[in-house]
Structure 1
């Protein structure tokens, strides 16, 4: 076997694990109420800051306990529920807005194109995390507001991709024919253009998923995301930084979970990008 063949075999053998890891984290989030060892908000002050594996009153703290004696494992699982829910909903909302704007601008051209794409340029010129922090500070923290803020800051990326892809398809024969046969603009966009640009948009959505997880964790770390006592990886990291020397597990395990979730999403996005590139 040549070196190239060996590398291809190794790559194909390792390509499944990001999807398996992401699926595992999603399942943990979905079934969190049924699989957590104990209520994530249950306090046990006599068992505070206990290391992984400690047992107290018949309860085993598999990943240790935090400063209030709450089980880190239970809070980590519920934190996955928050992070994945926020990421999924914000990706869906920003994708719908951005794709709609991009397709309309690329298809209608003219003044509509100029106005919409300059609006996209304005949003892209503002640092996303800064815009998110300012908007959350105005609207207030909370689950719904975080989703709206993340969607507001990230829709221009979808718009850019949808705009470029639509421009490339707008003058293709099958689109021109549909227009000549009297198809309305919404029908042309939804039936003829959107299915042909779905691949690149799916890649963007996959990569944005990991970024949304990081943004949500960053906002929660700053106290602008999901509010206590609701478990969030970002808030767990914020709490754990004060106990790094004495209780390293409080920050380490949420940080590791964030790393694995974002890594798996990015690897899946890269894999999708390679497959779409090969298919063209």
Structure 2
């Protein structure tokens, strides 16, 4: 008897199956095309965005120079001690108070102090010490103050009043006076200095974050999130914090200058960083009695403090403008047109 041959499923033999296969193929192709287009669009948006930031920074010469100076200070603080070794503590009484010169090698470029130690090596060592105090103090006060301020500003009521009263109590005492009293009672050390400066600067971030949260809690997008049952912590983290973060970071950059100057002042008074450690403020204090005969011992670390603080201030102003959508367009203009004549965006000028 004849053998039955298997029948192949062909779209022409089964119209319904052919239509379903065609639809499935079309949907798969559409999803693939949409995914590819979305990835391409995302890459296209992120790359020009990064390029625009670098382009805006390059157009602002003052901000570019400030960024370069701060980058050099950070690199020196991170890797400088690996390069200089123990040169910051190495004494040579025969080379005492030598002026800056190129004949004594790289480490004699900025001269020596009264014990014959290289001022350049001590500047590198002091950069790490100064930043190791200023950066943790700013980060601690930023995190604690911002968290308390956002929580108090969003909930309002008694929580807001309690947070503000705590801030008023801390602000009622001058931060430098608190640091002097506490460091006199306890032993002066880098850890105590960080804790004191962090606590003294918490009210700055608490008040700033509280004002931002109190203004944003009545916005429509916050009301919508609250209506759909979103927990308060998620609303603060996802909706309020991203808007308040540029302002808080700007305040932190400016506060970094204040903290660094405070640490230098305390070290100058003899209750900050203690020998054998060295900071820029301690170098100024140790060289003040040789100011007329060996000016480089005091002037050079003082210039390091000035350049770092001024650079941080200039870069903070640039970052604040760059992160503000209403002011970012100013950075795309030439420097000469960023004054009062550029009060409105160019596209709104008739």
TM value normalised by structure 1: 0.90
Name the count of aligned residue pairs. Answer: 272
Paired position in structure 1 for 2:63? 15
Aligned with 1:161 (options 200, 204, 208) = 208
* SS, match of residue 279 in structure 1: coil
Change (3 A) 1:177 1:69: same
Structure 1 residue runs of 4+, over 6 Å off? none
Structure 1 residue 130: deviation in Å? 1.3
Q: How does 1:153-232 map to 2 (within 5 A)?
A: 153-232=200-279
Q: 1:19, 1:184 → 2: CA distance? A: 39
Structure 1 residue 273: deviation in Å? 2.6
The higher-RCO structure (CA 8 Å, 6+ apart) is 1
* SS, match of residue 250 in structure 1: helix
Q: 2:224, 2:179 → 1: CA distance? A: 43
- CA displacement, residues 38-84 of structure 1 (integer Å, 9 cap, x when unaligned): 5211111221111112766x785211111111111000011111112
Aligned with 2:99 (options 39, 51, 65) = 51
Q: 1:133, 1:60 → 2: CA distance? A: 35
Instruction: Work out whether 1:73 is the aligned partner of 2:120.
Output: yes
- CA displacement, residues 148-187 of structure 1 (integer Å, 9 cap, x when unaligned): 1110111111111101000011122222222233332222
* SS, match of residue 60 in structure 2: helix
Structure 1 residue 12: deviation in Å? 2.3
Structure 1 residue 278: deviation in Å? 5.2
Say whether the 8 Å CA contact 1:53–1:60 is kept in structure 2: no
When Rg is computed on C-alpha atoms for both structures, the one with the higher figure is 2
Structure 1 residue 211: deviation in Å? 1.2
* SS, match of residue 31 in structure 1: helix
Aligned with 2:162 (options 101, 115, 122) = 115
* SS, match of residue 99 in structure 1: helix
Structure 1 residue 144: deviation in Å? 1.0
- Unaligned ranges ≥5, structure 2: 1-55, 328-350
Paired position in structure 1 for 2:76? 28
Change (3 A) 1:59 1:101: closer
Instruction: Work out whether 1:268 is the aligned partner of 2:349.
Output: no
